[in-house]
Structure 1
């Protein structure tokens, strides 16, 4: 039964169903909410100084990786702690391509290709796991990335790091604190968000959620659950690689200390803060993780910034399982139910 049919036949239950999946009547609301977040981010970048704009760029880049990570967490119900490793893949591929004098277009296509190949290769063994074993396997991958980057020094520059040559779009350099970069990363997020909303809102989305709820039941209906899972994990890897490539262009220099385990854990927590099944929530979660740490010190001593940031994360997580995006969804549902009565 489709969400629209469910909405007509069971009005009391329809909002519960659409709040869980984001499909049905809530889908247009999420489109509007995402557009409003985009407008707010771009406006904040336009009216504030370069340091704020830089943190907005970083937060939006994190949001792209969070959006991919949420596909694993929110759709499949699995825990992925390797988002930082996916970012490292895209970042080093972008840096290597640019350092070898390849253009931005070819470098970007190489990032997409590398993300797809790495995603498939990692997904094939990972989808055979479940629960805590998936979390442990992806955590091990994230933990190994700094050492792997040092080992592959001919490709990554090792512990000395590697510069990322600046690139231009038209006559404008993609400087990390420029308005151009903020527009670029926002546009990339919106494209990924549109694809996500299309996938979850279409008939294919029913297959996705059915595989996440019960793979055996999905197979009864003729759905190839393993292929679907590999696709979701690969999608997450590709978005992580894209985020990493944008991060490389933003910071201009890479070294293994950037892609430590804490980055992967932060991206996972960002998904919980924003809501794992909410596109706008992914952006909000990325902004919280990306903008708060560098700006907290403007208000509290540096020694207390870690404690304040931890308290902010804890408060956000206590808002509920749907995160900040879930609060918006529930508010919309409540208003709709009151109007109906």
Structure 2
């Protein structure tokens, strides 16, 4: 059911990108990139029950690492490998002290990290370009240039999200997922059963960092230029809200949440006055939050389940 709704949404996004203009394709690409980061955020929120406000910081790590690799003559694959390796190291280093905290203290710790990222990017001028920013060289795959508003870029990020979402389903929907849920929801019981709680938590936080870094790498390739003002605290808060709207335990919901945050604001500006865009966007998010505890993803899954049941009844 979850895989079916995921593939159905992928088809809708790709069709909309093919039929729409360059502005719509670009916003769909950005929304899908955000969805990758939301997927990592949901791994923490949905399994461990913790609030992570550092998703934007993880994106910054991936974006600047990708830019550094490409600017120094590395290939796309080599730069991606560097992004993943850097994310694993950074994620593990952040996870070791963070897993000692719970609740609001985890949120404050990750908020501090997100708040410090712009200043850190400015201080690391040799890597990030400082306040002036740094460009991300364009890359080609199979002779096709991956431009932010091209259909090729949209297909690439959609394929990236689908692959990572399937991996996420395999990790968190079977025995491993049950173990992580037990660690997050009943830590004392997990200790009684002899589970490696610290290792499980470090693994989840590191996986979330890898997903955020991959989202940042894709973001850099899409926009072609990076500066510290992109990765502010508001980005991390938006990604957290996107996860809550879509559903913390739904991969389809993560994509829907990312699309809402990345696609809706630039497109409603052509429909309502600029002074009203924030009000309209907030109202849409509020309605989406009222969809239920499981978010929009659970609504899609339920509707698809009802449709399949009706089809089977008609066949029988």
Same fold (TM over 0.5): yes
- The answer for unaligned runs of 5 or more in structure 1 is 1-28
1:143 pairs with one of 91, 115, 118: 115
Q: Per-residue deviation at 1:302? A: 1.0
Aligned length: 312
Q: Counterparts of 2:86 and 2:261 in 1: how far apart (Å)?
A: 26
Does 1:259 find its partner at 2:231? yes
Instruction: Pick which of 199-208 and 281-290 moved more.
Output: 199-208
Aligned to 1:275: 247
1:91 pairs with one of 60, 63, 74: 63
Deviations 1:107-146 (A, max 9, x none): 0100000111000000000000000000000001001111
Partners of 2:33 and 2:258 within 8 A in 1: yes
Q: Counterparts of 2:307 and 2:184 in 1: how far apart (Å)?
A: 30
Aligned to 1:186: 158
Deviations 1:253-292 (A, max 9, x none): 0000000000000000000110000010000000000000
Does 1:56 find its partner at 2:28? yes
Q: Per-residue deviation at 1:178? A: 0.6
1:79 pairs with one of 16, 28, 51: 51
Deviations 1:11-43 (A, max 9, x none): xxxxxxxxxxxxxxxxxx111000000010111
Aligned to 2:221: 249
1:114 pairs with one of 86, 96, 104: 86
Aligned to 1:70: 42
Aligned to 2:181: 209
Q: Per-residue deviation at 1:333? A: 6.3
Give RMSD over aligned pairs: 1.6
Aligned to 1:290: 262
* 1:129 aligned counterpart, secondary structure: coil
Aligned to 2:135: 163
Does 1:221 find its partner at 2:180? no
Q: Counterparts of 2:42 and 2:122 in 1: how far apart (Å)?
A: 29
Q: Counterparts of 1:292 and 1:103 in 2: how far apart (Å)?
A: 34
Deviations 1:54-83 (A, max 9, x none): 000000000000000000001110000000
Aligned to 1:10: none
* 1:150 aligned counterpart, secondary structure: helix
Between 1 and 2, higher relative CO (CA 8 Å, sep ≥ 6) is seen in 2
Q: Counterparts of 1:321 and 1:39 in 2: how far apart (Å)?
A: 26
Q: Per-residue deviation at 1:334? A: 6.5
Q: Per-residue deviation at 1:331? A: 4.0
Deviations 1:127-181 (A, max 9, x none): 0000000000000100111111001111100000001111111211110011111
* 2:155 aligned counterpart, secondary structure: helix
* 2:53 aligned counterpart, secondary structure: coil
Aligned to 2:211: 239
Q: Counterparts of 1:147 and 1:271 in 2: how far apart (Å)?
A: 26
Aligned to 1:197: 169
Q: Counterparts of 2:81 and 2:267 in 1: how far apart (Å)?
A: 34
1:329 pairs with one of 301, 306, 311: 301
Please, what TM-score do these two structures have when normalized by structure 1?
A: 0.89
Deviations 1:316-340 (A, max 9, x none): 1122221101222344567799999
